[in-house]
Structures are given as structure tokens and as C-alpha cells.
Amino acid sequence: MASCACVINYLKLLEDEENYSKYNLKHHDLSQYMRLDGPALSALNLMPTAKDGPSSTTSLYGLLNKCQTAQGSRLFTQWLKQPLLNLNSICERQDIVEAFCENTELRQSLHENHLKQIPDLHRLGKKFQKGNATLQDVIRIYQVVIHLPAMLQCLQTQVPDDPKIAQLIQDTYTSKISVCAEELSKLEELVVTTIDLEAVDNHEYIIKAEYNEELQDLHQQLAALMRQMEGEYRRVGDKLGLDMEKKLKLEKHSLYGNCLRVIGRSESGKLRNKSEFIELSTQKAGTYFTTVKLRNLSEQHRDLSSQYEDKQRGMVKEIIAIVATYCPSLEALGSVLAHMDVLLSFAHVSVMAPTPYVRPTMHPCGQGDVVLTEARHPCLEMQDYVTFIPNDVEMKRETSEFQIVTGPNMGGKSTYIRQVGVIALMAQIGCFVPCTTATLCIFDSILARVGAGDSQLKGVSTFMAEMLETSVILKAASRNSLVIIDELGRGTSTYDGLGLAWAISEHIATKIRAFCLFATHFHELTTLNETVSHVKNLHVAVHVGEQHDVTLLYKVNEGVGDRSFGIHVAELANFPRSVINLAKRKASELDDEADTLRGSSKDEPQSVIDGHKLMQDMVRELADAAKRANSDMLVAEIEAIKSKYAQDIQNNAYLKQMLMDVDTE
């Protein structure tokens, strides 16, 4: 509240009495919304970039925002950044979306017809409150008010079969719109009484002449001038022999006033060499011209219109002041219509997707699992160049909370882990999700470490940026978070990167216990499931042909993918053949060295683990012997330790091969 008081004082809102009753203070409890960090917003492609634009389907905003109103788009942006945590609120939104999906006539009528006619009520209200509104703004509000009965009739006649859903729509929309319509009915009477609605058809916004004697006199003079101009219009049409409905128009031009426009090049030629016709300009729409008589009449009409405007200015201020008192009702109506607009947008996208979205089954925060059948990335499947391969997702508590995804470059690891985050977020804003079936628990936050980037202006390197983002995850993640990590540790040396990746993975898996998807090329991490029971290994499938040609299958299966096929990606990027051949040769040499270190007999991983334990035990006993024995007894102690472990070393293939390599050197 202290911060709020500072803002009010800084804006000097209390110094102007006109601000009284214009503002409402509301409690905004951020604990009711999912936390999204900056990297998560970027990783999930929530908001459009300046390059793509707001309507591009490369962002979730561009894909889901089919709102017809400005207030609807603003509310959708707020929802997208603040997914809900309350299960009942989420289900209420999904109930309404489901009703709109099932009732095509109701959805299309509201979305395509009724909401399209709604202006930005919030900004209109601000114009009235500031005294900047015009009669045109009054008419825009009037047109909304007279349209409300048709919208109400649509809601009342297209009632869902389920009584519970019907009551929900009644409480959420119908009742609230009815209250607003009743409160605004007097505004409709005011407009009908005071504003000339016939003149509105000609884009003129004036007070009714009958409302004032002086205005009535001016109105009669204006009408007389208009009749004379129409007579001149008919005379010119007869003289030129033009079809007055199709080829000759009497129009009010912003620059020339009342003038004539002839349509078509051949018809424009009839004006040449005729001195009584004064050409004004030639444009794509036709040739504008006038006559001496029409010009004089137009000038008189303009002067009288100016007088009419001056006379009605005081009355216009009074009308605008009266309409401003209806701003609370307009704000309430705008909020209801914005809510409807967003959920209609969700329903529209869910139905019109290449494969329709489904309603997810939601469990409370801290309960349930994540099980998605044939899950898809909603943005990626909309791209023209993509034939999307769906994948199943199964993250279960105590068995597969932490999932390590390995596999080739460009195989789909990043897409797989990101789409889980996108689907979870879509479910918690009340939208349907791109799956065949979906069961999700509510996450209190989505935290991400994806991509490589730096911030030169802040002096932050790529690796430092990676560490800062990961530090936020380790501090902010909870048992009920969803963590998405892609390629952690690649910004430094291999050993440092692997060490950090292992330590971070183990900490998340054993200390935080959040649901986590970890995509990596450090295949050594896959052994984490040997010590942590709820770690599960997944890999992206790839087919290697007889000629060593590589086909990426984009299917995620259980198990470990032990190759990254980075050279194959370089070939796809059209690297020079000499560079590719050298890379293959060097990779083969490194593989041979690695095989030697692991033992040419291809020992099982257990022999390596046992070998390391034997070495640790030997080193520990040797260290103890060095501490307690004097120089005369030390040799005997060492020989005793060697004899103790000699047979175990001979039985361990890993240590045996290592000793053979040392003897060879």
C-alpha cells in the first residue's frame, strides 16, 4: 500500500477533484498465478518478435489470439503471462471453451458477427473521462448499446444442453450483459433525443435541429442548399449524358467540399474543352470536378455548417458530460465482452487446428502426473514447411519425474521438451491442448534454461548467462515446478560442463524433486538413473542405413541415444567435402582413443565402476600406511596391500587393460 500511495502522490491524482470516483483500488494476488521467468517466456515463444509481427503463428500469442476486440487482445496478453493456479477457475474457463466448441452456431455468431462490432470501450471511456470525446464517440457507444439485445438473444436461444454449463454462461455473460444493457438504456434515449441519426449515415455528427430554434433555422437553410446542389448535380448529369447511379457522384470531399466525381477514363474525356466544368484533380477513384454554381453553393454550405457547429458546441459538451457518467457501466461491459472474446478465441483455435485440440484433465497442484498422448507443438505444426511427428509424454511421480533426453542434433529434443511446457501453460490459461488425450497437474512455475545467448552491453558472456539462468532455477524451483533445460554446460570445457551438468541434474532430481526435462549431448548423464530411481532416459530415434546415411525419425523412445551425428548436420549445411572428411577422420581417431581408455574388450559399465572402487580402496589403504608406518616398514606394507588386491585386479577387465596399456608405454 505504501508503494501505491507513492504512485498516487507522484501522479498528483488527489489534487484534481475530477479524479474522484474515477479509479478503483483492487487487490491483485500474484500468488494465484504461475511464475514464468524471462528465459521461459523466450523458450516457449509466448510473445511475438518485432521481426515476425503479432499475427505470426511462430508465437503462442499469434497462434491463439483470434480476438475480435482490442480489450479482448489485451486481456489475452495478461492471461498468457499469468496462467492460473486455482483448479476451479481453470475448469470454469475450460467448461465455457468446451461449450463454445460444441455449439458451432453460437461460437460463429458471437465471434464473427457480434464481437466484430464492439469498439475499444476502455479507451473510449478514458476519452470521456478526460473530456476529449466527440459526438462520433457518443455514436460509437450508442451503436454498442443498441446491439446488446441481439447479443443477449443469441446467448439466450443457444443454450448448452448441460444445465451446469448453461448456468455458468448465464452467470458469466448473460446476466452481466443484461445488467449493463439496462444501465445504458437511458444513454440510448439521450442519443435518440439529441443527435441527428439520419445525418450519421452521411458521416455527419450534429445535434438534432429540433432541439434548438436557432439550430432548426440553420438546418432548414442547409437542407435548402443541399437541394440546390442536388439539382445542379442532375443538370450536369443530363448535360454529360452519364448514368448518375454508376458514373457520376455528388460527394463531400475533405479538400474540395461538395463536388462531383466522374468514374472511368472514357467518361472523364467528356469534361474536356467544356469551360463550365472546373477540373479539381484526377485520381484512381475518378476525376473530381465542379461548376461555378456548385462551388458557390458548397462554400455557402460550409459557412452555414460552421455556424451550426458553433451553435451546438455547448450542447455537445453537455451531452458528453452526461455520457461520461456511464463510464463505470461501459468498463463493466468491456470486461465481460473481453472475457467472452478470449474464450471464443480459444474455442476457435481449438476447433480450426489441423488436428483439433482436446480438453485436458487437470489435477490440483502437487497431485497427479503428466500423461500426454500424441502431443504436438502448437506453433510448429502450423508452419507450411513442417509435417509434425507427434510424441507421447509420460512423467509420473516417483518413477519418471526427471527425464534425460539424448539423441542426434536436429533430432527434435528441444521441440519435445519445449512442447511439454507450452501444453502445460495452455492448459492453465483455460485453453484446449494439441494432443489426442492429456492429463496434467498444475505447476506453480515454469522455469527454463534454453539456447545460447550473451549480453555484451551488460558484460555477460554466453556461459555466464547460462549460469545465471540456471542459478535462478536452483533457487526458485519447487516440488511443483516444471523445469526445462536444454544443452546445459556447453559454454565451457567438456569436463567442467559435464561436471556442472551432473551436479545440477542430481540436485534437481534429489533435492528439489521438480518435474524436469533435460536435453543433453553429455551421454554420461544417463547413468544417473542407476542411483536415482525416478530418473528416466529417453532418446530421439534415428535410422542409419547400410551406406551410413542418416534419417532422423523425430520419435522419442525410452533408452539412451549414444551418438549426436553432428557431422551429419554439417553435411546438411553444405560444408566443404574436405572439411567433412577431416572431421570424420578425427572423430574416428578420438573414438579409438576412447575405446582404449574404456578397454578394448568393451567392458560392461559395472567393471568400470568396480575398477574405480578398487583403485579408491587401494589408494586409501596406501595413504593410511604412509601415515602410520616408518620408512623401514613402508615397503612391507605396500607389498601386503598389493598382494591383497592382486587377484581382484586380475579379475577386473577395466584395470587389467589399463595396466597392459601402461606396460606397453
CATH number of the domain residue 71 falls in: 1.10.1420.10
- Read off the pLDDT band of 28 (50, 70, 90): confident
| Residue scoring higher pLDDT (632 or 307) | 307
Q: Are residues 427 and 559 in the same domain?
A: yes
Chain center to CA of 530? 39
The residue among 586, 650, 572, 640 whose CA lies nearest residue 614 is 650
Q: What share of the chain is helix, strand, coil (3-state, %, to 5)?
A: 60, 15, 30
The residue among 129, 183, 255 whose CA lies nearest residue 137 is 129
Cell of 380: 510448429
Domain containing residue 77: 65-184+326-352
Is the CB of residue 481 less than 8 Å from the CB of residue 447? Answer: yes
Q: Is residue 642 part of a domain?
A: yes
Phi-psi region of 576 (alpha: psi -120 to 50; beta: other; left: phi over 0): beta
Q: Are residues 547 and 523 in the same domain?
A: yes
Cα–Cα distances in angstroms (integers) from residue 256 to residues 107, 244, 270, 279, 619, in the given order = 46, 20, 21, 11, 101
Give the lowest-confidence range in 66-75, 92-101, 272-281, 620-629: 620-629
Residues whose CB is less than 8 angstroms from the CB of residue 95 and which lie 6 or more positions away in sequence, other chains included: 164, 165, 168
Q: Is the pLDDT of residue 603 over 50?
A: no
Q: Are residues 438 and 549 in the same domain?
A: yes
Q: What is the pLDDT of residue 602?
A: 46
| Residue scoring higher pLDDT (345 or 598) | 345
Among 26-35, 54-63, 148-157, 628-637, the range of highest mean pLDDT: 148-157
Q: Is the pLDDT of residue 80 over 80?
A: yes
What is the distance in angstroms between the CA of the first residue and the CA of the last residue of the chain?
Answer: 75
Q: Are residues 175 and 230 in the same domain?
A: no
Cell of 487: 544443452
Alpha-carbon dihedral sign for residues 423, 429, 432, 436: positive
Alpha helices in 103-205 (DSSP H): 104-108, 121-130, 135-157, 163-169, 175-183, 185-194, 197-200
Q: Is residue 195 part of a domain?
A: no
Q: Is the pLDDT of residue 234 over 90?
A: yes
Q: What is the pLDDT of residue 357?
A: 97
Q: Is the pLDDT of residue 139 over 60?
A: yes
Q: Is the pLDDT of residue 132 over 70?
A: yes
Q: Is residue 593 part of a domain?
A: no
Cα–Cα distances in angstroms (integers) from residue 224 to residues 115, 200, 556, in the given order = 40, 19, 80
Q: Rounded distance, CA 446 to CA 520, Å?
A: 19
- Read off the pLDDT band of 599 (50, 70, 90): low
Q: Is the pLDDT of residue 303 over 60?
A: yes
Query: 3-class DSSP state for residue 546?
Result: coil
Determine the angle formed by the axes of helices 70-81 and 327-352, rounding to 10 degrees.
Answer: 70
Q: What is the pLDDT of residue 246?
A: 86
| Residue scoring higher pLDDT (551 or 122) | 122
Q: What is the pLDDT of residue 160?
A: 84
Q: Are residues 103 and 220 in the same domain?
A: no
Q: What is the pLDDT of residue 86?
A: 96
Q: Rounded distance, CA 588 to CA 542, Å?
A: 20
Cell of 520: 543433453
Cell of 413: 529434443
Q: What is the pLDDT of residue 548?
A: 64
Q: Is the pLDDT of residue 587 over 80?
A: no
Q: Are residues 396 and 537 in the same domain?
A: yes
Which contiguous run of DSSP H or E holds residue 225? helix 213-240
Domain tally, the chain = 4
Residues whose CB is less than 8 angstroms from the CB of residue 37 and which lie 6 or more positions away in sequence, other chains included: 445, 446, 447, 448, 469, 472, 473, 476
Cell of 108: 460463429
Q: Rounded distance, CA 358 to CA 157, Å?
A: 26
Q: Are residues 538 and 639 in the same domain?
A: no
The residue among 232, 219, 235 whose CA lies nearest residue 258 is 232
Q: Is residue 506 part of a domain?
A: yes
Q: What is the pLDDT of residue 433?
A: 97
Q: Are residues 348 and 384 in the same domain?
A: no
Give pLDDT tens digits for 431-460.
999 999 999 999 999 999 986 554 544 556
Provide the whole-model pTM: 0.78
Residue labelled with grid coordinates 475448469: 91
Is the CB of residue 534 less than 8 Å from the CB of residue 403? Answer: no
- Read off the pLDDT band of 499 (50, 70, 90): confident
Mean pLDDT for the stretch of residues 213-222: 86
Q: What is the pLDDT of residue 632?
A: 60
Is the CB of residue 372 less than 8 Å from the CB of residue 420? Answer: yes
Q: Is residue 97 part of a domain?
A: yes
Q: Is the pLDDT of residue 547 over 60?
A: yes
Q: Rounded distance, CA 639 to CA 170, Å?
A: 90
Q: Is residue 507 part of a domain?
A: yes
Chain center to CA of 415? 16
Q: Is residue 585 part of a domain?
A: no
Own/partner contacts of 276-282, CB < 8 Å, gap of 24 or more, are 277/236, 280/253, 280/256, 281/256
Q: What is the pLDDT of residue 630?
A: 61
Q: Is the pLDDT of residue 665 over 50?
A: no
Average pLDDT score over the chain: 86
Q: What is the pLDDT of residue 230?
A: 94
Q: Is residue 381 part of a domain?
A: yes
Instruction: List b or e across 331-358, with b for residues whose CB sees 16 or more CB atoms inside 10 angstroms.
Output: bbbbbbbbbbbbbbbbbbbbbebeeebb
What CATH number did the domain enclosing 501 receive? 3.40.50.300
**Chosen domain end from 533, 564, 595:** 564
Q: What is the total residue count of the chain?
A: 665
Q: What is the pLDDT of residue 537?
A: 94
Q: Are residues 376 and 346 in the same domain?
A: no
Q: Are residues 317 and 333 in the same domain?
A: no
Backbone torsions φ then ψ of 574, nearest 5 degrees: 65, 45
Q: How many CA atoms lie within 13 A of 452 on its CB side?
A: 9
Show the CA angle centred on residue 542, arms to residues 495 and 421, nearest 5°: 70
Q: Are residues 312 and 345 in the same domain?
A: no
Q: Rounded distance, CA 634 to CA 624, Å?
A: 11
Q: What is the pLDDT of residue 657?
A: 64
- Read off the pLDDT band of 310 (50, 70, 90): confident
- Read off the pLDDT band of 631 (50, 70, 90): low
Cα–Cα distances in angstroms (integers) from residue 14 to residues 7, 20, 26, 110, in the given order = 11, 7, 18, 41
Q: Is the pLDDT of residue 573 over 80?
A: no
Q: How many CB atoms lie within 10 A of CB 557?
A: 14
| Residue scoring higher pLDDT (562 or 257) | 257
| Residue scoring higher pLDDT (660 or 57) | 57
- Read off the pLDDT band of 488 (50, 70, 90): confident
Instruction: List b or e across 395-429, with b for residues whose CB sees 16 or more CB atoms inside 10 angstroms.
Output: bebeebbbbbbbbbbbbbbbbbbbbbbbbbbbbbb
| Residue scoring higher pLDDT (169 or 600) | 169
DSSP-assigned letters across all residues of 429-442: TT--BSSSEEEEEP
Q: Are residues 316 and 330 in the same domain?
A: no
Q: Is the pLDDT of residue 40 over 80?
A: yes
